[in-house]
Structure 1
Amino acid sequence: MSQTISVASRGSVRATFVAAYSAVTLAQITNALPGALSGTFAVEFHTSGAGLTWIAGMFLMGIVVFELSWGLLGDMFGRRKLLYVGAAVSVIGSVMAAMAPSTGVMIVAQAIGGIGAGILFPISLSMIAAITPDHRARAKVIATWAGFLSLGAVISPVLAGFTAQFFTVPGGGPGASNAFSGWRAAYLIAAAGAVVVLLIAVRAKDSAAAEGRKLDMPGQLTLAVGLIAVLYATVTAVDAGFGSAQVIASYIAGGILLIAFIIIESRTAQPLIHLSLFKNSSYSITGIVAVTGMFAFLAICFSTSVAVSGLALAETWKVGVLFVFIQGPAFAFIPVVGWLIHHVAPRWVLTAGFAFMAVSGFWLSTFALGTPETFGGTPWTAFIPPLLVLGVGFALTVGSVTAVAINTVPAQQIGMASATTNLLRDLGFALGPVIGSAIAFGIGATVFAGPLAGILGAAGMPADAVAGLAHVPPLGFLSGWDGIVAQFSGQAAGGGAPAPAVDGMVKALAAAKPRIQGVAGTSLGEGFQTVYLCAGVAATLSAVLTLFISARSSAPTADAITETTEASAEAAV
């Protein structure tokens, strides 16, 4: 709090505000696009469950693993320079996503885009805070910044749905005549927006606060690599299973690195995270619910995108509409939530928000999933009421979780408590699609195995052919049928099967296709029903845990109100 902030005399104050507000809107648009497009990615790239999880989770991991360092680097070297870097990286990530011909390229594009957004979020906020020294004026400026961030969250699903509806070119597939169609146009628009941010930022004021600042490189490296190792293990388990040697080795490596991170943080003079914060039981509880509550939120978002678009085959614009109901309340309720945080005990606001999220998760878990609406599946409009409940819960929790956290610690720890809680909250966001995928695709594969063997056996396929197809996950039969048939026939011919026998098995597969795909869809539907149920349990646990937070969190201090406004601004997804 006592840092000396230097602000350059050159540059325009107006351009600084415009650049910051544009940057955070752009960052949130690119942040929210994957959530609305997960089901579309499954169809477009014919990806496996693990591939879909990488696409959904990698952007968020790009934000999380360096989240505590970008603001520090801006303090040390100048925030405008970091804004240039963030916008340029966003251009690269968005263009690469628009051009992506395969799952692998899309994953890399998401990682790059996540790093760009991870820079823009804290740097845009610190730029406008630096030129607004008065606390009351700063609170209003940050609230405006929050509005633009939430606006980006509303624009993103609309953009995804609009481009998918009006920019699609018929014919072809990934990398062919569809290369610039539909959702790809949304990423090109985001790239253009990043270029605009770069041009505006040229006239913005620069600022820094380098005095006494030092990057904790050992802590940053062990945290980043440790989290990525754990993510890799969990995603790989989606297809390979948790008993895989590769998965176990990655979990062990990640665990060792994260333990090393804790040891480093306890001994360094300027740590990324002050571990002493967690000696406070109320703060520790808040940290737990920041992870579990936001996991519940994004697990529901991810499951909805895949269930409605990937399994029910609804048009992308319909998924975009559903995500407006999820994201809209966070934008519309900004003044309401701000008033509640300052006039009602924030922990009660937090409890109510998690309760709403729990209702949404349990409600959605009762829906029949996995069957297209044209074949009697759940209508996409049925998702609107429970998702609106989810959106209200998210609006109440995303800011108040940090409000509660910073009011459970001494005044001198407010800044670190806010930053650490934001990290934990964003970690929960990242875990939503990762753990949700592991649950959904794991259960789906287990449920699918028996009926698949029965269908193939009834079709007259020999036992060894049935065994050869038993390892294919249900999503593979839904999004990559032609590839599976080609691989199967090639393996059968390579194994010495005569051509007539291979042709007979391929014909048997083709005849059984409707039944196999129907069972594959309902099997995955059961998996995502379980994810909704788990999300409801996690949100319920979060609501109950907040009841044990100390009552002192109900009285925000003057400094805490400003920090709370800032934290409320960082609504994600």
Structure 2
Amino acid sequence: MSQAATAQTASPSSPGSIRATFLAAYSAVTLAQITNALPGALNGTFAVEFRTSGAGLTWIAGMFMMGIVVFELSWGLLGDMFGRKKLLYAGAAVSVAGSVLAALATTTEMMIAAQAVGGIGAGILFPISLSMIAAITPDHRARAKVIATWAGFLSLGAVISPVLAGLTSQAFTVAGPAAGSPNVFSGWRVAYYAAAAIAVVVIIVAVRAKDSAAAEGRKLDLPGQFTLALGLIAVLYATVTAVDAGFGSAEVIASYIVGGILLVAFVIIETRTEQPLIHLALFRNSAYSITGIVAVTGMFAFLAIAFSTSVAVGGLALAEAWKVGVLFIFIQGPAFALIPVVGWLIHHVAPRWVLTAGFAFMAVSGFWLSTFPLGTPEAFGGTPWTAFIPPLLLLGIGFALTVGSITAVAINTVPPQQIGMASATTNLLRDLGFALGPVIGSAIAFGVGATAFAGPLAGILGGAGLPAEAVAGLSNVPPLGYLSGWDGVIAQFSGQAAAGGAPAQAVDAMVKALTSAQPQIQGVAGTSLGQGFQTVYLAAGIAAVLSAALTLFISARSSAPSADAIAAAQETTAANAEAAV
């Protein structure tokens, strides 16, 4: 069984209602997934409204997942030690705070902070909601059914989220109180207020829920937790910073070094502690190691495609938020609609073949999308948003087939006494893949885009009559800056020119020339970034092919699903933000 389902203590005679416990758990996981998936449908909106850089947009998309990944092995343990009901209250309260902060955000920095808070809240709710219902369902067969229902509510949250984002953006948009001033009570922000309201409902319902714990013999591995969390944060920080600063930046290099040192320290700590976060001995099993690699590369492919679609359609093609929301229904919907089918397949077909088929679907999706011309609004001849539906449907089907099968394959490659840790570790690796999707995807997209943009931009600026030093200064602005922050580019340029001693008349002339070239510059900026996201789609397709191929090398032992494998796969079908975008 998975870690969430072991050593439960919950008596039928303990205070609280079983029905309220189920309702609280199901609503909590739905809430967590709604807040998890909201940025996926709104990245384009964020790019335009916050005028964010490539790194800023990446932080918005990736910070939520970081809040889940870096602590996810400890939240369940804390619930075991101090009571899961208390942790549920805490997770819902933190989700209220994160959602309200997101709704009130007026800058990229505020939204990033809100995402960090919201990610911690969701990171608590995912494992705690699962362990609460596992604790009150001791019968093996009954537990499989209620956990399948839990997974269904998680998938339902993934479907609700893009619909909520699209509807609120369309129905509640109101002009701000002053020109250029956002109205923090309108548009997409209403979706976050709705999430905060759902979190309050979760708290109210949980009052009557049963509590449970499993504290005996449990102990936090604080040195391991801190070194893992700080190491992952440092490495992810370096990768995100490289989106704008480049991989040769001193800050990026230093962050990678610090992250590497901390992760090495984590490995050393885990080999010496009595109760480690992760039993590294698992990776001596070659089949399990392959499964771990696949968990990272396969989920990277999924999130890279989802993130790229959000930015390419919403940010570059300037499609309305409701259209992006519809596309994300095709990405997220199959995981909900195909629950019975996937359950049957895991019972009757070797999970590794289901896994291979799922990654093959993802690969086709990535390669297909890489052929789409990107970066031009549909009104000006760009790819119609409806053209994305067929390949994204394939992506959704592939995700539905893989997300539960990974766990079934993983735990069938280890001895029975290691099943719990294998399941928990697979969850961590899978969620790490989710976090890497937007981070590495952004590094690729904005890096390729900047390279493709540099030559044409210099030609346009030189042709407009700007002097060489002005061309050099403007060439340092990334393409996304020209698309989402044109006024800022003009203000920065004119300020620097004036500070450099240029006469006011000359500055005005250069600004006028730059402004007249705006349509041409923005067109090239869009197509350059489009090339970058085509490259991300291609990279995701290659990662999915690699994942599919690697599953063929997993030992035949994982071909026949055991009863424990089936139950654990159902318990973790979508655990810990599996449908994150």
Q: TM-score range by the shorter chain?
A: over 0.9
Alignment correspondent of 1:167: 172
TM-score w.r.t. structure 1 length? 0.99
Decide whether the 8 Å contact of 1:28 with 1:153 is kept in 2.
yes
Distance 2:341 2:155 in 1: 14
Does residue 572 in structure 1 map to residue 576 in structure 2?
Answer: no
Residue matched to 1:39: 44
- The amino acid across from 1:5 in the alignment is T
Counterpart residue number, 2:541: 536
The residue aligned with 1:5 is 9
* Of 459, 463, 469, the match for 1:454: 459
Q: What residue is the counterpart of 1:279 in the other structure?
A: 284
Deviation at 1:172, TM superposition (A): 6.3
Q: Alignment partner of 2:572: what SS?
A: helix
Q: In 1, distance between residues paired with 2:551 and 2:236? A: 27
- For residue 559 of structure 1, report the CA deviation from its aligned partner: 2.2
Distance 1:450 1:3 in 2: 62
CA shift in 2, pair 1:373/1:364, >3 Å = same
C-alpha contact (below 8 Å) 2:409/2:565 kept by paired residues:
no
Determine if contact 1:161/1:319 at 8 Å carries over to the other structure. Answer: yes
Q: Is residue 68 from structure 1 mapped to residue 73 from structure 2 by the alignment?
A: yes
Mapped partners of 2:446, 2:484: distance in 1: 14
Deviation at 1:569, TM superposition (A): 3.7
The alpha-carbon deviation at position 329 of structure 1 amounts to 0.4
1:190 aligned onto 2:164: no
Matches within 5 A, 1:156-555: 156-171=161-176, 176-555=181-560
Query: Does the aligned pair in 1 maintain the 2:369–2:388 contact within 8 Å?
Result: yes
- Distance in 2 separating the partners of 1:540 and 1:174: 49
Question: What is the CA-CA distance between 1:237 and the residue it aligns to?
Answer: 0.3
- Matched residue of 1:378: which SS? coil
| Deviation (angstroms), 1:181 | 2.1
- How far the C-alpha of 1:175 sits from its partner, in A, is 8.0
* 1:557 counterpart residue number: 562
**Shift, 1:234, TM fit:** 0.2
Whether the aligned pair in 2 keeps the contact of 1:453 and 1:470 (CA below 8 Å) is yes
Give, as a single letter, the amino acid of the residue that structure 2 aligns with 1:352: A
- Post-superposition Cα deviations, 1:407-429, rounded to whole Å, max 9, x if no partner, equal 11111111110000010000000
The amino acid that maps onto 2:518 is K
CA distance in 2, matches of 1:300, 1:4: 38
Structure 2 Cα separation of the partners of residues 208 and 443 of structure 1? 50
CA distance in 2, matches of 1:21, 1:44: 34
Query: How do residues 106-125 of structure 1 correspond to structure 2 at under 5 angstroms?
Result: 106-125=111-130
Q: Distance in 1 between matches of 2:18 and 2:339?
A: 25
Distance 1:312 1:532 in 2: 16
Q: Rate the CA distance shift 1:393–1:510 in 2: closer, same or farther, 3 A.
A: same
**Does the 8 Å contact 1:353/1:394 carry over to 2?**
yes
Distance in 1 (alpha carbons) for counterparts of 2:461 and 2:178: 29
CA contact (8 A) 1:100 1:175 kept: no
Contact 1:102 1:174 in 2 (8 A): no
SS at match of 1:207: coil
Aligned-CA RMSD value: 1.1
1:171 Cα deviation (Å)? 4.7
Residue deviations 1:114-138, cap 9 Å, x none? 0000000000000000000000000
User: Which amino acid is the alignment partner of residue 19 of structure 1?
Assistant: A
Task: Name the amino acid aligned to 1:384.
Answer: I
Report Cα offsets for 1:489-512 as digits up to 9, x if no partner.
Answer: 011111111111000001001100
Q: In structure 2, what is the Cα distance between the partners aligned to 1:554 and 1:407?
A: 8
Q: In 2, distance between residues paired with 1:215 and 1:545? A: 34
> Which has the higher mean CA deviation after the structures are superposed, 114-123 or 558-567?
558-567
C-alpha contact (below 8 Å) 1:69/1:215 kept by paired residues: yes
Deviation at 1:555, TM superposition (A): 1.6
Q: What is the alpha-carbon distance in structure 2 between the residues aligned to residue 135 and residue 427 of structure 1?
A: 30
Does structure 2 conserve the Cα–Cα contact (< 8 Å) formed by 1:127 and 1:207?
yes
What secondary structure sits across from 1:412 in the alignment?
helix
State the one-letter code of the partner of 1:403: A
Q: Which residue of 1 is the match for residue 62 of structure 2?
A: 57
**Distance between the aligned counterparts of 1:572 and 1:211, measured in 2?**
33
Corresponding residue number in structure 2 for 1:104: 109
Q: Using the alignment, how far apart are the partners of 1:560 and 1:173 within structure 2? A: 58
Residue pair 2:335, 2:400 contacting (<8 A) in 1 also: yes
The aligned amino acid for 1:41 is: F
1:206 partner letter: D
Give 1:554 shift. Answer: 1.6
Distance 1:520 1:345 in 2: 47
AA at the equivalent of 1:286: T
Contact 2:410 2:423 in 1 (8 A): yes
Alignment deviations for residues 187-207 of structure 1 (CA, whole Å, 9 cap, x no partner)? 000000000000111110000
Any idea what SS the aligned residue of 2:557 has? helix
Deviation for aligned residue 1:35? 1.1
Partner of 1:144: 149
For 1:572, the aligned partner's letter is: A
Whole-Å separation in 2 of the counterparts to 1:172 and 1:461:
38
Matched-pair contact (CA < 8 Å) for 1:173–1:179: no
Match of 1:133 in 2: 138
Q: Return the TM-score normalized by structure 2.
A: 0.97
**Which of 83, 86, 95 is residue 81 of structure 1 equivalent to?**
86
Q: 1:92-127: per-residue Cα shift (whole Å, max 9, x none)?
A: 000000000100010010000000000000000000
- Tell me, in whole angstroms, the C-alpha distance in 2 between the residues paired with 1:453 and 1:566: 55
The number of residues matched between the two structures is 573
Tell me how far 1:37 sits from its aligned partner: 1.0
Deviations 1:434-486 (A, max 9, x none): 00000000010011011111000000011111111110000000000001101
Contact 1:4 1:211 in 2 (8 A): no
User: 1:254-275: per-residue Cα shift (whole Å, max 9, x none)?
Assistant: 0000010011111110000000
Identity of aligned residues (%): 83
Structure 2: where are the runs of 5+ without partners?
A: none
Contact 1:305 1:319 in 2 (8 A): yes
State the distance in 1 between where 2:97 and 2:366 align. Answer: 36
Contact in 2 for aligned 1:44/1:173 (Cα 8 Å): no
Q: How far is 1:174 from its partner?
A: 9.8
The AA in structure 2 aligned to 1:128 is I
CA distance in 1, matches of 2:182, 2:507: 32
Work out the CA distance in 2 between the residues paired with 1:395 and 1:174.
45
Q: Quick one: structure 1 residues 177 and 52, their matched pair in 2 at CA, closer, same or farther if it must change by over 3 Å?
A: closer
| Contact 1:226–1:253, Cα closer than 8 Å, also in 2 | yes
